[in-house]
Structure formats: structure tokens, C-alpha cells
Structure 1
Amino acid sequence: MRFLTFVLLLPACWIAAAPLWAYDAIAQNTVVRSHGWAIHGELAYPPDFKHFDYVNPDAPKGGELVQGAEGTFDSLNPYITKGNPAIGTNDIYDTLMADAWDEPNSEYGLLAEWIEVEKDDDGIFTAVRFGLRPEARFHDGHPITAEDIVWSFNILREQGAPQYRFYYASVTEVLALSDRTVEFRLAPGDNREMPVILGQVPALPKHYWQDKDFTRTTLTPPLGSGPYKIGAVRAGQSITLIRVDDYWGKDLPVNVGHHNFASMRYEYFRDPTVMLQAFKAGNLDLREENTSKFWATAYDVPAVDDGRILRKEFPHHRPAVIQGYVMNLRRPIFQDITVREAMSYLWDFEWVDRVVTYNAYQRTDSYFENSEMEAQGLPGPKELEVLDPLRGQVPDRVFTQAYHAPVSDGSGINRDNQIKAMELMKRAGWVVRDGKLVNAETGQPFAVEILLSSEALTPHTQTLLRGIERLGGQVTLRIVDAAQYRARLDSYDFDIVVGVWGQSFSPGNEQREYWGSASAARPGGRNLFGISDPAIDRLIEELIASPDRETLDARCRALDRVLQWNFFMIPMFHSKADRYAFWNRFGYPETPPMHGTETDFWWVDAEKDRALKRRGRK
């Protein structure tokens, strides 16, 4: 899964050279061992596969990739809440498994040469074991052992960022059964995603960290195990990752065609416009363009006209990233669902897309947009199986209406939606007195602050500001630096922010972190909304326990409907392609896998590089 937050990786194994049929195989065996793991369905690659189909196995190694990053950093530890970790610090660590970008949720052995899943008579997973490769090494040559995995898991859960305690909650104990076998014992309950989650556990070196404070930020490059190590660091300004020439896993099938750059440097910029100018001046090699205005207007330069800079949209088939204006339910003003519904009428997507984003996006309606998990029409029989017991606990419209975000005429006036919003505010007990929107009983003014971390979303937000002001409300737009923004999010000190969540092809345990009650009060969590709803908790648990793909899709749609009709956020937009601008010196797969493209399997094309040097980058 991209963006997000967690990338779900996992292995599965093979018995007597028979293919793994995920749930079916487990239902017939007490223990299943394999070389990879598919949450649903069959693995695409056999035990003796040589490389993933979407990579170039003969991609040349060498060259440098220089990219920009916005903001700053003050730490090289990506696993704790404290500080702002530099980009790329995850790349120095190997995980138990690696994901395949051309399958929905299949993973194959990296540190682990096999995975073994044990189940009880009811088919419930009770333990997951991994067998480590004997050649696995840290960068100092120290063997990676099961004890390192045990230590890594425990330190993340005990001293890492809060989401690890939540994410690994189903594990009751982790044991080193031998130097190369680690076992995770699972709590009772049908949690079929746990093998995948455990496959993403990184190998942190116990011998390196045992005399250091893991909870403190550090700018001293830590010891890793992965394809890259940290080279030059200029605090807050740049970080360079250097490929490890004697990397122990470079010839593994999951790594062939990957990690082709000899070094990767990230240069930090406080201002996105300055970063764009640095790219066009030739100081950066590549940028993933997330600003539609820049994509439409900022590349009218000679280097684009003559082909030295290429602009390319790479289509993807992954669930869309969820982005929207989050209303903080910890604030009394947003605890009324009718107020939240009124707010949903005040942001004018049609005007924003026409004027601000140059018709680059589609409106987001669903929390599982661009997938078969997206709720459409009225709930079907399998959805009603989980929704019917919750009647009276979830909004009635879940059963009677299909949700669609409000639509305007795109004029920017949005009059009809303003009228609808005012009707809802009156129903919620708000009235206009002396031109100000106030609570009819207490006289409290309707006053909110919209918090942003940069100027980039200011144009998109103006229509929401105007909508609130036209109702008579008081609204402040506040832009703070990255550190202050992170601190305020971690402590939930905001009224409205723009939230972003990534969804995977097989949603599961991360849904607890996104919308579950247990994450609502925990500092630094992903439940920015403050949702604490037993009905939603129940839907999440049933989703996690889905026994097959059909059931998972139906339960995702059921959860989707309940989230939609609670109006927790004002949904924004999404794109079905990734936009890249880059100097014409790279090779890359012309047809990207279903997850999209990724520079991890790009390379420097020597002929293009020489031609570009002859022509110049200025």
C-alpha cells in the first residue's frame, strides 16, 4: 500500500510443490508453509521465480537520483513519534517480506525464506512463523537472527510510535524458536491479515541499539540491513543514501531489477515553488507532481519543448488515496452530525476543479474509492448481514440512500448548496443574529480555524472559507510550519485540517487505527476525526475477520456507508494516474504494474544520460 502510512508485506510457503490457495489451503492444513503469502486468492509467482515481471532484470546499476522534499528534518529514526524523520530512512532496513506491485496484496520472502501459518480446527490463525535466510546480514556483517526480529518487534510496540502498539495488538507473544526461526503467537479472534502485517516487521540490530535510547531523535546514521545506507547528512537540508555494494540480498528474486541507483539524494526546500524552480534549473532530476496548477502551467519551458524534460502520467489501478477536510469531533461544535452535514455543502468541488486544479481530478465519494470495495447503490444482502444488527445505531440513510457528495454548478456562487447548509444549521439550533451565526440557546458564535501546513492548499480552501462566512460564521485560516503542524495533529489541537489516508487492496487492521475508538484518544494516532463509535468498531472487527474476498468487499462497503453518512469529513478529490516530470536520463517500465510506477525500479539509461549532458540541463 502506498502513501500511507503502512506497506503490507508477507511471505507464504509451498508444500510438496503445490500452489498456495490462501484460505482454501489453510482450511485443509493445520500448518501451511510457503515462499510467499496472498491475503486472498493465489500467488502469481511460483517458488522458483527469478524476478517480478514488471522490472527490468538487466537494469544497469549506477548513477545518482536527486529529488526534492518539502519542509525539513531533524531525525534519522523513522519509527518514533518524536522529531521529523528524513525521507528514505526506511530504505536502510530489510523487512521479513517484500510486496509484489503487480498483485493486489501478495508478498514474497525477503529476510524470510519461508512463512508458516498455523490454524486451529475452526481455521483461525493461532501462530505465524518465519524462517530467516542464513545469509542475512546487517551492514557491519553481523548475522540477522530471530532474536533481532523479536527485539525489533518488542521495541516498536513498547517504544515506537503509538500506531505500532495498536497495529500489533493481536500478537500475544513473539519467540525466537531458534537462531533462524521466529514465532508470533496470536490472540483469539479471526484476524487473517496478521501474517501480512507481521511480514513488514523490519530487522533492527539489537547489538547496535542496546546501549542507546531508541526514543530519542538522532542525526547519527544508524546501522541498517537493507540495500542502502545513510551517507552524507546536512541537518534539515539534505540526506544521501548510498547503495550497499555487498548487500547480502541483492540477488534475491524480490530485489532483482530494484535498487538500481548508486546513490539517492534528497534536497529539502521550505517553499514548493522554489523546489519547482530548482527542478527546472536542472538541480533536481525528478519530481512527482502533486500540484495540478504546476502540472498545467509551470512546465512551459524550453527543456520540455525540446524533450530534455519529460512529463508523463503513469496510470494505476490501486484504491484512491482518501483526502478531505477533517472535522474534529473532540470539538463540541462538530459533535452534531447535522452541523457536519451542513459543512459538506460549503466546499465547492466543481468550482475548485475548474478554476484551481484545471479539471485534473475526480470527486471522491467513498472511503474505498476506485475499487470494488466502494459502496454503490443500496446495500446488498451480504452488506445487510452486518448492517441489519446495527439498525438504530447507525444513520437511517445507510439503508435507504446511496451517498453522493454535494454537487454545484461550478460558478463559485454555490447558492443552492448555501441554502441547504443554512437549513441544516437551523435544524441543528444555529441562527443568524446581527449578521452572525450563533447558537440559538447559548449565543455562542460559530467560530472555527482551518489549519494547514503549507500554502499549497490555500486556493482550494478559499471556497470553504467563503461558504462559512456567507452563513455568518467566523473562520480563520492558519498556516504553520511542518514541526508545529505535526505537534498540533499529534495532540489533536485543531478544528479542521486536511487529512490523507492510503487504502490497500485488502483493508484490515489499519482500519482500527483510522476510525477505531481505541485510536481516538491516543496522541499521535491516525484517527484525526476523534471517531469513537461502537457500531463502527464492530464493523471494523468484522471486516478484519472476513473469511474470503467476497465477504471482505461487502464488509468494506458496509463500513463505507456508515462512514459516509456520518459526515466525518468533506471529501475532496483523487486521480487515477501518477504524474512525473523528469530529466530525460532514465529508463523505466513503460507499462507500470497495478500499484503504479516507483523509482525503486527505475535506472539511469547511459545513452540518454550522455545525450542530455551534451545538450545541457539549463
Structure 2
Amino acid sequence: MRIFENLNKCAIRTMAAGLLALSGGVAAMPLATLAEPAHGIAIYGEPALPEGFAHLPYANPDAPKGGTIRLAEPGGFDSLKPWVLKGNAAWGVGVHVTESLMTRSIDEPFTLYGLLAESIEIAPDRSWVAFTLRPEARFSDGSPVTVEDVIWSYETLGTQGHPRFLTAWSRVERIEATGPHSLRLTFVAPDRELPLLMALRPILKKAQWEGQDFTDSTLEAPIGSGPYVVDRVDPGRSISFRRNPDHWARDLPVMRGLNNFDTIRYDYFADSNAMFEAFKAGEVTVWRELSAQRWAGEYDFPAVTSGRVVKAEIPNERPSGIMGLVMNSRNPIFADWRVRQAMIEMFNFPFINQTLNGGADPRITSYFSNSVLGMGDGPATGAVADLLAPFAAELPPGALEGYALPEGSDRSMDRAGVRRALDLMAQAGWTVQEGQLRNADGQPFAFEILLNQNGTAMRSGSETQQIVNIYVEALRPLGITPRVTLLDAAQYVERTNNYQFDMTWYERGLSLSPGSEQRLYWGRDGVTTPGSRNWMGIDSPAAEAMIDAMVEADSAEAFTAAVQALDRVLTAGRHVIPVSFSPISRLAHAADLTYPPQIPIYGDWPGFMPETWWQEAN
């Protein structure tokens, strides 16, 4: 197993670069310097890499080109257009085929370096941002990437694209060309984060899509400027991307050592068991193991014992995010926080974790746990308390005083938890009548747990089903028998996009630089607007205000306080029954595949695998 000798060096370098986790260690970039064209931009401080840097620190510029990497995905796909709400798009199109004006370094909290744009210029008050395109930028068909393409992409995605594009675009007043290779976006109001968000929009070829209904899904291969082109497509079953040897940006510093495989192939399988069997048989060459118990005890199959497959553990320094069973508060029975707390009390985490995971991984304790952005223990103090004080009357219990999940029991039934749950349910108007939980009108407490039979990015379908099966049994003493419904991926996406569920499995990865995207996760627009990530239906003025404070923060200290305050509002809201998380990624891979020894602070994160990996010659 690979040992990472550079972790301490990485941590020191990260702190010096301005990691938001440091208290008082980062000052905002002097505003006077922001009006000059620059090669990069950081949300706070300055980019860690100077102009003229050779390559990203976690990339190997000497990595050989060639070979194939084969990856597995659950379910299927019916679209090659990941920028709209319709359809179930194949993974990888938006990652490998298209590019943005700037690209992110996953070794810094939120720093961008020029890609399609050779420079960025920002108003001193961040009321506008301007970009200058590289004249040599080309789409894969050889045509130039023009300012017209950029403006069309921004306007089209902002008005007809997936809802994730709409919120940020609503804060743009206008976009205009300022020269043959330059453009400017003027904002409705000054915004620290918006210049970075705009720099990450995918740039599409106007001539390919103009005149069509952009909101429609399609299997037409998009023409992008990225390092790969769509090669072979077997709808619903597999998609291959072929490296473009003439990629216009292959020698740029931000691209050196990346995108090394000639072919990246994604095969789709009915469920995680089929995926794992394909990996054991050599049909898939990298497997991300989600079960610590299986990682420890079930990797003795021939490919491992013969050395054809090796195991690697990839550390990271990012927040835990949130994962578990989410309760849809649009359903009146889950609108009461006491009911949601009772449902949390009935989820006996120690027993479930030990039974299914060997107790190896810790529990998620808040949305930003495992980082200094997390809310911490005990009452809110200092700037966090000041931010929350105006909302004290409407905050859920625990937001100011401190909130902790129930300890649970190592036995199958947590009797103390059952007693607390019964008391909370009684306070909310639900009592056990003739063995069934009912309200004063005699209506039963009934709900559906909706599951994707193919699993998710972080949990296999069988594992989520096992968790839910144990939970359903645990609810019986409360007089509750939920209905469990398994759907295929397409049906599941359709229902969750429209919030047609009572309880379902929920996963949201969170970064060291949360910002405006948090409105898509927890903003009140998502209560009714389809396609948001606000599955629980949060409608909280306090959460909205904390997101505003986060986005408007002018220092790392103010930013951290705002995130910690938001974490308190979300966690005390009791919307998700959290499970465990892993502070490492467990990757088993073919022995001839490898990656650089210097691991970025985000670890196994988009941009790491397959981008930094390569195949050694046999």
C-alpha cells in the first residue's frame, strides 16, 4: 500500500497558501491589486502558484501518455447533455469534453488559474469581472473558441440550463464583448465569489446548438475544447472518451501531467455487486470501496493475492459533508422538528455501524464536520453567536445552545432512544393506539422510504437497503411501519427532482470553500423549484442570512464564522439522519495504474482520478 511521505509538507504548504481553516492567518487581497489582469484568482488571499508556474503541484509532468482506464457507474444513461434538467446524462461528458475559462486547483480551498482565458481582471469592489481569451483556444473540430461562443454559453445556460446554473446567473446584470478576445460581466451588486463561479461555466460551441431547443436531452456528442472527445456510445451501457492528441491546451501549465490515458471508458451496471464482480474479473480497472469492513476482510481474491490489483488509501482535508436519510419537510408529518428528532433517536447508529461496517468509520456529526468550518461542540460564541442572535426566536433548539446526536446503543434496540422518541412524538400529537402510531384524528403515521436500487456515489444499493431494513425494524416499537420502494435510476431521478418522496437517501459533498451554491442546497427557492438540491425543503431565513454572510465576508475569519453558523442552523434543523463517513478514500486498482505521490488537500476529489493518473508500460 502506498505511503504518502509528503502529507506534512502538503499541510504546511496549504496553510501558507491561505487555507480558510486558519484562524486569523489570511488577509483579503488588497483591493487595489484586483484591477490588474492576473493569471489566477483566490477567494481569499493570493493564488499559491505564481505566474509562469510549471505545473500543478499534484500533477506529474513526466507521466507517460497512453493506455486505458475502465471505470464503473451504476444504472444507465439516455443523454450526452449534462447541462439541462431533462434526461439522465452519462458521467464524464462535462468533465472530459468541455472546458471553462479558468480551472480549479484541488490543492487550494478555492483558487482558479487561467485555461480558455489567459487572464482575469476584477473591479476593486468585485462589481464586475473581465476575461481575455487565449487566441489559440480551439474546439476539437479545429474551430476557434470565440467571445461569441462564451457569451452564448453563459446566456443559454443561465436561462435554459439546469437549475444549478440559474441562481448565479440571476446576479449578472449584463455580459458584453469588449474586444475581439475579451468580455466583461457586470453584476447586479458587488460579489466576492461570483467572479470565480462565472469563470467555471462550461463553454459550448454555439454553432452546434443554435436553433435547437437547448432544454431537450440528446445523444448527440457535444463538441468541446477539452482534452477528450466522445468516441463510442452504447446508450445506457457504456461510453468511451478518446484523448485528443491535438488538444490545444496540452502544454499549458494547468494541463501538464494531466489527462494521460488514451481512452477513458465508463461501463454501466445494474448494481454495485455487478460492478464489483466486473472489477474482480478485470473488466473494470479502478474500484472505489465504500465499505471499511469489506476493505479489511474481503480483498483476498486472486487479482489481489497475485499482485495484479493493489490497494491504496487516499487521505483528504475536506469536510465530511452530509449523508444519510433525509426527511422531506414538505410532507406535513415531517414539518415538526420534534418528529424529525424522534426519527433520529430511533436510528441506532452504533449498532448499525458495527453490524454493517465493523464500526470502522466515525459518524457525521454536522454538515461541515471533520474541518474547522464545522460548528463545534457547546454553545455558539463570538462572531457565530452574533450572526445567529437576530434569529434566536425562530432557530431550532440547539442551534445556539449546542446540538449533539444521540449516543445510541450497541444492542439492536436502544431503549432510552425509544423512550425519548415516544415522548417527542407525544409532544407533536402522535401516540401509540392499538399498536400503531396515530394522531388525535386517528390517522396513522405512515410514510414511504424511496431508494435507488443502483445505489449512489457513496453507498451501494445493497448497503443502503441493509441500513433501511435495520431502521424499519427499529421503528416497530414506535408503531411505525414505513413502505420501502426501490426504483431504477431514471425513475428515482424523476421523483427526487420533483421532491416526490417522504424519506430517501441523501448525499452532499461539501468543500473548504462553500459559497453561493449553498443556496441551491438549502435556499428557499428549492422548496418549490424542481431540480434543486434542497431535498429536505428547508425554508429558513437564518440559513439564507448565513449564506449571505458567507458570500459577503471580506476576511477568512468572517467567512469561517458564517459557515460555522450555517452549520448550526442546518444540523439543529434535524433534516437528515446522518450515517458514517470516511476520512480517507479506499481505491483498489490495477497494478499498472498509478498516480503522483503528492496528494492534493481535497484528496480523491473531481480532478484527481482519472485526471492525474497514468498507466505504466507493461
Which TM-score applies when normalising by structure 1? 0.91
Give the C-alpha shift of residue 54 in structure 1. 1.4
User: What amino acid is aligned across from residue 588 of structure 2 in structure 1?
Assistant: A
Report the alpha carbon displacement of residue 318 of structure 1 after superposing the two structures with TM.
Answer: 1.4
Aligned residue number for residue 12 of structure 1: none
1:309 corresponds in structure 2 to 309
Specify the alignment match of 1:346 in structure 2. Answer: 346
- Indicate whether 1:419 and 2:419 are aligned: yes
Aligned equivalent of 1:253: 253
Aligned to 1:183: 184
Mapped partners of 2:168, 2:470: distance in 1: 37
Indicate the residue corresponding to 1:566 in structure 2.
573
Q: Is the 8 A contact 1:519 1:525 kept in 2?
A: yes
Q: Structure 2: which 5+ residue stretches go unaligned? A: 1-24, 454-460
Give per-residue Cα distances to partners, 1:50-91, cap 9 Å, x unaligned: 101211110000011111111000000010111111111011
Q: Indicate the residue corresponding to 1:106 in structure 2.
A: 111
Specify which of 66, 89, 107 is matched with residue 62 of structure 1: 66
Cα distance per residue 1:419-449 (max 9 Å; x no partner)? 111111011111111111000x211100011
Maintained 8 Å contact 1:101/1:595: yes
Contact 2:28 2:44 in 1 (8 A): no
Structure 2 match to 1:600: 611
Contact 2:287/2:588 (8 A) holds in 1: yes
In the alignment, what sits opposite 2:165? 164
Match of 1:532 in 2: 539
Aligned to 1:321: 321
Name the aligned partner's letter for residue 612 of structure 2: F
Secondary structure at the counterpart of residue 153 of structure 1:
helix
Structure 1's 61 and 406: CA in aligned 2 closer, same or farther, altered over 3 A?
same
Q: Which residue matches 1:446?
A: 445
1:97 matched to 2:98: no
* More deviation, 365-374/584-593: 584-593
Deviation at 1:397, TM superposition (A): 2.8
Contact 1:242 1:264 in 2 (8 A): yes
Letter matched to residue 225 of structure 2: S
Partners of 1:86 and 1:294 lie apart in 2 by 28
- 1:140 counterpart = 2:141: yes
Cα separation, 2, equivalents of 1:590 and 1:477: 44
**Partner Cα separation in structure 2 for residue 252 and residue 34 of structure 1:** 16
The residue aligned with 2:13 is none
- Report the AA paired with residue 188 of structure 1: A
Report if aligned partners of 2:105, 2:113 keep a CA contact under 8 Å in 1: yes
**How much has 1:100 moved relative to structure 2?**
1.1
Distance 1:432 1:289 in 2: 41
- Work out which of the residue numbers 47, 54, 60 in structure 2 matches 1:50: 54
| Structure-2 separation of matches of 1:487 and 1:368 | 28
Q: Distance in 1 between matches of 2:421 and 2:169?
A: 42
AA at the equivalent of 1:253? P
For 1:291 and 1:68, the matched residues in 2 are separated by 16
Tell me the amino acid that sits aligned with residue 616 of structure 2.
D
Distance 2:330 2:387 in 1: 28
Aligned match of 2:503: 496
Tell me which amino acid in the other structure corresponds to 2:345: Y
CA drift at 1:26: 4.4
Mark the CA change 1:53 to 1:591 in structure 2 (over 3 Å): closer, same or farther: closer
| Structure-2 residue corresponding to 1:151 | 152
Q: Deviations over 1:255-296 (max 9, x none)?
A: 000000001111110121111111111111111122445434
Q: Quick one: distance in 2 between partners of 1:435 and 1:347? A: 20
The one-letter code matched in structure 2 to 1:109 is G
Judge which range, 406-415 or 480-489, deviates more. 406-415
SS at match of 1:595: coil
Of the candidates 71, 76, 82, which is equivalent to residue 80 of structure 2?
Answer: 76
In 2 relative to 1, CA 564–57 (structure 1 residues): closer, same or farther, beyond 3 Å? same
Aligned pairs for 1:134-283 within 5 A:
134-189=135-190, 191-283=191-283
* Cα separation, partners in 2 of 1:231 and 1:576, compared to 1, 3 Å: same
- Deviation, 1:504, is 1.5
Counterpart residue number, 1:9: none
For 2:17, the equivalent position in structure 1 comes to none
Q: State the AA in 1 paired with 2:116.
A: L
Counterpart in 1 of 2:557?
Answer: 550
Q: Distance in 1 between matches of 2:169 and 2:27?
A: 21
Q: Distance in 2 between matches of 1:581 and 1:467?
A: 34
Give the secondary structure class of the aligned counterpart of 2:37.
strand
Is 1:474 aligned with 2:481? yes
The alpha-carbon deviation at position 498 of structure 1 amounts to 1.2
Q: Whole-Å Cα distance in 1 between the matches of residues 82 and 574 of structure 2?
A: 33
Q: Which residue number in structure 2 is paired with residue 588 of structure 1? A: 595
Contact 1:55 1:257 in 2 (8 A): yes
Deviates more, 1:236-245 or 1:529-538: 529-538
User: Which sections of structure 1, spanning at least 5 residues, go unmatched?
Assistant: 1-20, 611-618
Specify the alignment match of 2:522 in structure 1: 515
Residues 452 and 488 in structure 2, CA contact (< 8 A), matched pair in contact too: yes
Partner of 2:435: 435
Q: Distance in 1 between the 2:231 and 2:298 partners? A: 33
**1:374 equivalent in structure 2:** 374
Q: Residues of 1 paired with 2:218 and 2:150: CA distance? A: 22
Answer with 23-32 or 126-135: which moved more: 23-32
Give the Cα–Cα distance (whole angstroms) in 1 for the partners of residues 26 and 264 of structure 2: 37
Provide Cα deviations, 1:378-407, integer angstroms capped at 9, x if missing partner. Answer: 21211122111112121343222x222111
**Number of the residue aligned with 2:457:** none
**Could you tell me which of 505, 512, 515 is aligned with 2:512?**
505
Describe the SS at the equivalent of 1:550. helix
> How far off its partner does 1:349 sit?
1.4
Q: Is the 8 A contact 2:320 2:510 kept in 1?
A: yes
Instruction: Report the Cα distance in structure 2 between the residues aligned to 1:24 and 1:336, rounded to whole angstroms.
Output: 41
Cα deviation for residue 537 of structure 1 reads 1.4
Aligned-pair identity (%): 38
Q: Secondary structure at the match of 1:37?
A: strand
Say whether the 8 Å CA contact 1:77–1:217 is kept in structure 2.
Answer: yes
**Residues 298-343 of structure 1: CA deviation (Å, up to 9, x unaligned):** 4221221232111111111112231121110110101111111111
Q: Is the 8 A contact 1:152 1:204 kept in 2?
A: yes
- Verify the 8 A CA contact 2:157 2:166 in the aligned structure 1: yes
Q: Structure 1 residue 29: deviation in Å? A: 4.8
What letter corresponds to residue 177 of structure 2 in structure 1?
A
SS across alignment from 1:363: coil
The match for 2:18 is: none
**Contact 1:26-1:32 at 8 Å conserved across structures:** no
Question: C-alpha separation between the residues in 1 aligned to 2:494 and 2:520?
Answer: 18
Is the contact made by 2:133 and 2:182 (CA closer than 8 Å) also made in structure 1?
Answer: yes
* Secondary structure class of the residue paired with 1:287: strand
Q: Is the 8 A contact 1:367 1:374 kept in 2?
A: yes
Output the CA distance in 1 between the equivalents of 2:360 and 2:394.
38
Q: Is the 8 A contact 1:383 1:557 kept in 2?
A: yes
Given that 1:73 and 1:86 are in contact with CA atoms closer than 8 Å, whether structure 2 keeps it comes out as yes
Would you say the 8 A contact 2:27–2:556 is kept in 1?
no
Residues 495/434 of structure 1: CA separation in 2 closer, same or farther (3 Å cut): same
Count of aligned residue pairs for this structure pair: 580
Deviation at 1:297, TM superposition (A): 4.2
Structure 2: how far apart are the matches of 1:229 and 1:525? 29
Counterpart CA distance in 1 for 2:425 and 2:555 is: 43
Distance 1:451 1:396, change over 3 A: closer
Describe the shift of the 1:30–1:114 C-alpha distance in structure 2 as closer, same or farther (beyond 3 A): closer
